């Protein structure tokens, strides 16, 4: 592992996407989101993705410069097509649209389909929370069949993430954000590249046995390659037994079928995110309700629960990310040597720096 300063890392990633045809502003947004994922500890959705994004631009899976194409505008609800643009650009646009509509109506629903990889979903819940809105985000990944349903050894779901954000006026927002697989695929990629080891039994090998070996998922032990996820012979285990598997199932329907982006069935390409989001202004729902006061009291009560042996303290959603962001902003982003080398090789290839 080596620590890279935030400005250096952001500058390099910005330069790489600029060299690939993104405008400077778009490249900066993509870089800020990817480095932001590293800062919050979600290395799976950080700069480890850059080589894959560069390949995707080459093969047309990802198209710089795309803006939202509004398919349906019902005022309180909108549906937009992303045309396989950068998810980091489309995510900002669609959430800002949801915030705008919720400020008019008190509530809003946005549906985004055919978006390029939209990254850490918590970023979008944080953006809505900064506008004092509660938000819920249901996401699927069309063209990325990775997760076995409960009881199956074969893959049927994407890692279909789910996020909820609750703002707090006098404290940081509460942000729940996770993949519905036991681990996100990016965490497998990160472990494959020499990063943090995986938890036990999060992968199903081709013989149906459970393992934590990322090589059993990708079907290769050559850690210098960028593994093609679509060709991975292994499967990821769904989180939370039958309940998490059911949540993943519903994310496919809400993020995929309802947005029109499509569920992640067989022979579907390219890889694209669908995201159904709900935004709600708690003050408009019931102006007399002391929502924020109740949230603050509940948070304090939960934090006050006595920890089990071996656990330092009880955390609430968003704590872990916020603490790491503070630490990594000050100390730099820890990257596996292989990931840093991959970025530098790309820079050399593209004549950047
Ligand atoms: P995870 O398993 O690290 O869980 C994160 C959640 O758990 C956060 O809400 C965090 O605050 C909370 N948390 C962490 N430690 C805690 C503790 N000790 N006590 C209480 N709460 C705690 O997340 P993940 O499943 O690995 O997901 C990683 C990222 O991948 C997410 O940002 C997700 O949005 C993203 N993702 C994106 C896609 C996509 O297609 N764009 C697909 C899958 C996942």
Q: In this predicted model, what pLDDT tens digit does every residue of 55-102 receive, in sequence order?
A: 999 999 899 999 999 999 999 999 999 999 999 999 999 999 999 999
The whole-number pLDDT of residue 168 equals 98
**pLDDT (mean) for 322-329:** 98
Contacts of 131 (CB under 8 A, 6+ apart): 99, 102, 103, 167
The whole-number pLDDT of residue 218 equals 95
Q: Indicate the top mutation candidate among 90, 159, 177 to test ligand 1's pocket, ranked by most ligand atoms within 8 A of CB.
A: 177
Q: Is 161 in the pocket of ligand 1 (CB under 6 A)?
A: yes
**pLDDT (mean) for 324-340:** 96
Q: To 10 degrees, what angle do helices 24-39 and 6-19 make?
A: 140
For the ranges 72-76, 181-185, 238-242, which has the lowest average pLDDT? 181-185
DSSP 196: S
CA distance 255 to 108: 16
Pairing assessment for the beta strands 77-81 and 69-73 based on DSSP bridges: antiparallel
Burial tier of 81 (Cβ tally within 10 Å: 0-12, 13-18, 19+): buried
Q: Is 238 in the pocket of ligand 1 (CB under 6 A)?
A: no
Q: Decide: helix, strand or coil at residue 212.
A: coil
CA distance 203 to 196: 15
> What percent of the chain shows pLDDT beyond 90?
90
Tokens found for residue 116: 């390029």
Q: Is 38 in the pocket of ligand 1 (CB under 6 A)?
A: no
Q: What is the pLDDT of residues 276-313, one digit of tens each?
A: 999 999 999 999 999 999 999 999 999 999 999 999 99
Contacts of 58-64 spanning 24+ positions with Cβ under 8 A: 60/84, 60/270, 61/116, 61/269, 61/270, 61/271, 62/86, 62/116, 62/117, 63/116, 64/17, 64/20, 64/21, 64/22, 64/23, 64/26
Burial 127-166 (b: 16+ CB within 10 A, else e): bbbebbbbbbbbbbbbbbbbbbbeeeeebbbbbbbbbbbb
Cα of 39 from ligand 1 centre, angstroms: 13
**pLDDT (mean) for 105-115:** 98
The whole-number pLDDT of residue 189 equals 86
CA distance 274 to 128: 18
Q: Is 250 in the pocket of ligand 1 (CB under 6 A)?
A: no
pLDDT band at residue 258, thresholds of 50, 70 and 90?
Answer: very high
What ranges do the domains of the chain cover?
A: 2-285+332-350
In which residue are the tokens 């620590």 written? 3
**pLDDT (mean) for 192-208:** 93
Assess contact for 82 and 90: CB atoms under 8 A: yes
Residue 228: is its pLDDT beyond 90?
Answer: no
Q: What is the pLDDT of residues 7-40, one digit of tens each?
A: 999 999 999 999 999 999 999 999 999 999 999 9
Ligand 1 atom with the smallest distance to the CA of 317 is 11
Cα of 96 from ligand 1 centre, angstroms: 23
CA distance 219 to 306: 43
Q: Decide: helix, strand or coil at residue 35.
A: helix
Q: Is 299 in the pocket of ligand 1 (CB under 6 A)?
A: no
Ligand 1 atom with the smallest distance to the CA of 140 is 40
**pLDDT (mean) for 264-269:** 83
Contacts of 173 (CB under 8 A, 6+ apart): 125, 126, 129, 130, 165, 166, 167, 318
DSSP 143: T
Domain 2-285+332-350 falls in which CATH fold?
Answer: Ribosomal Protein S8; Chain: A, domain 1 (3.30.1370)
Residue 266: is its pLDDT beyond 90?
Answer: no
Ligand 1 atom with the smallest distance to the CA of 311 is 18
Strand ranges across the sheet with 272-280: 69-73, 77-81, 107-115, 272-280, 134-142, 162-166, 174-178
CA distance 178 to 130: 20
The whole-number pLDDT of residue 93 equals 98
Q: Is 336 in the pocket of ligand 1 (CB under 6 A)?
A: no
Cα of 230 from ligand 1 centre, angstroms: 22
Q: Is 179 in the pocket of ligand 1 (CB under 6 A)?
A: yes
Displacement of CA 77 from its chain's centroid (Å): 23
């Amino acid at each position: 592992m080596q620590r890279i300063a935030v400005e250096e890392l952001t500058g390099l990633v910005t330069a790489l996407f600029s060299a690939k045809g993104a405008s400077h502003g778009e490249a900066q947004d993509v870089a800020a989101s990817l480095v932001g994922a590293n800062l919050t500890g979600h290395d799976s959705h950080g700069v480890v993705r850059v080589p894959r994004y560069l390949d995707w631009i080459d093969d047309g899976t990802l198209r710089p410069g795309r803006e939202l194409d509004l398919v349906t505008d019902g005022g309180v609800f909108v549906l937009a097509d992303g045309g396989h643009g950068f998810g980091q650009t489309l995510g900002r646009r669609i959430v800002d649209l949801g915030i705008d509509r919720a400020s008019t109506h008190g509530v809003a629903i946005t549906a985004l389909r055919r978006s390029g990889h939209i990254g850490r979903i918590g970023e979008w819940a944080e953006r809505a929370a900064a506008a004092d809105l509660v938000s819920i985000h249901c996401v699927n990944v069309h063209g990325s069949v990775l997760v076995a349903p409960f009881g199956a050894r074969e893959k049927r779901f994407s890692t279909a993430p789910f996020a909820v954000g609750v703002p707090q006026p006098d404290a940081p927002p509460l942000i729940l954000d996770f993949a519905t697989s036991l681990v996100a695929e990016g965490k497998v990629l990160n472990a494959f590249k020499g990063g943090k080891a995986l938890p036990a039994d999060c992968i199903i090998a081709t013989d149906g046995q459970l393992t934590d070996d990322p090589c059993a998922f990708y079907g290769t032990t050559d850690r210098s390659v960028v593994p093609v996820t679509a060709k991975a012979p292994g499967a990821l285990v769904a989180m939370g037994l039958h309940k998490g598997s059911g949540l993943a199932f519903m994310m496919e329907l809400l993020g995929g079928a309802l947005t029109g982006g499509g569920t992640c069935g067989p022979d579907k390409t390219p890889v694209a995110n669908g995201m159904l989001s709900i935004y709600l202004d708690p003050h408009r729902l019931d102006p007399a309700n002391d929502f924020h006061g109740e949230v603050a009291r509940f948070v304090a009560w939960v934090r006050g629960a006595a920890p089990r042996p071996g656990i330092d303290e009880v955390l609430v959603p968003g704590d872990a990310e916020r603490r790491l962001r503070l630490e990594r902003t000050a100390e730099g982003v820890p990257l596996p040597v292989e990931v840093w080398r991959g970025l530098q090789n790309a820079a050399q290839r593209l004549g950047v720096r």
